[in-house]
């Protein structure tokens, strides 16, 4: 037994056929005699043959990998991967891809260098396409993908219109659900903590909440982290001590808000009702558990992967947005 890995040639020799025939058997194309198929499979078994992926890619121009890119300026790795929201996206993507024998390549695009690296990687055929999850509105990676004609699908509508597929949630409708819940619970003095207002989703959630709760409802801006939720809630409370209902634009911030309310001596939901957004794991583990607006993130991740694969299959495919519907999940906090 030599050290070099067996090649098609070796298998062909053992089976007494040509390289082409072995290739046909492996890829299951054209009509190959059943008897010969058996012989070839036995030869593959015997030699321990494994097709060389690089060689195959070279001719098929497919790698079987797609880039899963977390994009946006300055998002440190620990913050991104620590976010349960991102975990859910990954989960949906992986679940879908595995059924198609493809795998995601994790890339962080938090600096200009890193973004250039992502584009280069795709142009070099390091992946067949990209799934982009932007953390900031001014991210230019989607536009660069479009310009370079690289197959890509976004999570969330791009800030400026772009011929590219994306999945998104009807954030505005979701926020309206939250507002209605608070009003139904008899809350009169409402407030809200929004996400960063540069992000369309944040603006939509704020707008939706105000659609129902009134345009002058006070808001404090956070950035979707636990800490920013605490800070924003503290500011809100300082300015409006009579608050009895708050909508916080994601669960992580809502968990932070919960702590601030508790320390301020306000009981939830008795004194202040709280509604979050996302229905991510912190919502379930909080005390009280959060009433929240569910976003089917896993499904959205899977759909994103589906759209990308379709686009890779047919490059002429027209860009499609897919919008998901939110749902209210009632738990203890409101």
Partner DNA sequence: GTCCCCAGGGAGAGCGCTCTCCCGTACCAT
Partner DNA sequence: ATGGTACGGGAGAGCGCTCTCCCTGGGGAC
Contact residues toward DNA (CB under 7 A) are: 4-5, 7-9, 16-21, 23, 26-27, 29-33, 35-36, 49-52, 55-56, 58-60
How many whole angstroms separate alpha carbon 52 and alpha carbon 314? Answer: 25
Q: How far is the CB of 2 from DNA (least distance, A)?
A: 11
Q: Return all residues near 221 (Cβ < 8 A) that are at least 6 apart.
A: 193, 194, 195, 196, 197, 232
- Within 10 angstroms of residue 111's Cβ, the number of other Cβ atoms is 12
Interface characters, 168-207, with a second copy (x: CB under 8 A) = ----------------------------------------
* Contact positions with a second copy (CB under 8 A) in 40-99: 50-55, 57-58, 61, 63-65, 68, 77-78, 80-84, 86-88, 90-92, 94-95, 98
Q: CA 216 to CA 19: how far, in whole Å? A: 74
DSSP secondary structure, 203-215, as one string: HHHHHHHHHHH-T
Tell me which of a second copy, DNA, none is bound by residue 160, counting a contact when its beta carbon lies within the kind-specific cut-off of 5 to 8 angstroms: none
263-302: contacts with a second copy (CB under 8 A): 281-282, 284-285, 287, 298
Do the strands 327-329 and 291-294 form a parallel or antiparallel pair, or are they unpaired? antiparallel
Q: For a second copy, which is the closer residue by CB, 58 or 197?
A: 58
Task: Determine contact, residues 118/152, Cβ cutoff 8 Å.
Answer: no
Nearest partner of 317 among 154, 152, 157, 174, judged by Cα: 152
Indicate the residue among 22 and 133 with the shorter CB distance to DNA: 22
**CB-nearer residue toward DNA: 50 or 330:** 50
- Specify the DSSP class assigned to residue 218: -
Cβ 284 to a second copy, closest distance in Å? 7
Instruction: In whole angstroms, give the CA distance from residue 182 to residue 58.
Output: 58
In the bound state with a second copy, the residue whose beta carbon lies nearer, of 175 and 329, is 329
Inter-CA distances, 11 with 14, 53, 205, Å: 5, 16, 60
Q: Which is nearer to DNA, 55 or 148 (CB)?
A: 55
23 or 281: whose CB is closer to DNA?
23
Provide the phi-psi class of 80: left if phi over 0, else alpha when psi is between -120 and 50, else beta: alpha
Shortest reach from residue 112's CB to DNA, in Å: 24
CB 121, min distance to a second copy, A: 7
**Rounded (5°) CA angle 326-136-190:** 50
Which residues in 117-136 contact a second copy (CB under 8 A)? Answer: 117, 120-121, 123-126
Contact, 315 vs 163, CB < 8 A?
Answer: no
Tell me which residues touch a second copy (CB under 8 A).
Answer: 5, 50-55, 57-58, 61, 63-65, 68, 77-78, 80-84, 86-88, 90-92, 94-95, 98, 101, 103-108, 114, 117, 120-121, 123-126, 226, 252, 255-256, 258-259, 262, 281-282, 284-285, 287, 298
């Amino acid at each position: 037994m030599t050290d070099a890995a067996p090649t098609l040639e070796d298998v062909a020799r053992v089976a007494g056929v040509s390289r082409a025939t072995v290739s046909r058997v492996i890829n299951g194309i054209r009509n190959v005699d059943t008897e010969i198929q058996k012989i070839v499979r036995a030869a593959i078994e015997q030699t321990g043959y494994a097709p060389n992926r690089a060689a195959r890619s070279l001719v098929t121009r497919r790698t079987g990998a797609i880039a899963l890119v977390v994009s946006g300026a300055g998002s440190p790795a620990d913050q991104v991967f620590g976010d349960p929201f991102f975990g859910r996206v990954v989960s949906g993507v992986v679940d879908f891809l595995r059924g198609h024998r493809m795998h995601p390549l994790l890339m962080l695009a938090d600096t200009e260098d890193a973004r250039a690296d992502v584009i280069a990687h795709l142009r070099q055929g390091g992946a067949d396409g990209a799934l982009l999850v932007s953390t900031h509105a001014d991210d230019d990676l989607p536009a660069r993908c479009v310009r370079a004609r690289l197959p890509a699908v976004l999570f969330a509508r791009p800030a400026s219109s772009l011929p590219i597929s994306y999945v998104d949630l009807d954030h505005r409708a979701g926020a309206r659900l939250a507002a209605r819940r608070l009003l139904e619970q008899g809350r009169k003095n409402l407030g809200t903590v929004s996400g960063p207002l540069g992000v369309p989703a944040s603006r939509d959630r704020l707008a939706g909440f105000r659609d129902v709760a009134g345009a002058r409802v006070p808001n404090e801006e956070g950035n979707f982290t636990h800490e920013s939720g605490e800070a924003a809630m503290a500011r809100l409370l300082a300015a409006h001590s009579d608050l009895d209902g708050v909508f916080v634009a994601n669960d992580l911030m809502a968990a932070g808000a919960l702590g601030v309310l508790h320390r301020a001596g306000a009981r939830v939901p008795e004194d202040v009702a709280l509604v979050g957004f996302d229905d991510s794991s912190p919502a379930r583990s909080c005390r009280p558990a959060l009433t929240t607006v569910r976003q089917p993130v896993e499904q959205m991740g899977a759909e994103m992967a589906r759209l990308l694969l379709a686009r890779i299959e047919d490059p002429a495919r027209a860009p499609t947005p897919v919008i998901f519907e939110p749902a209210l999940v009632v738990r203890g906090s409101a």
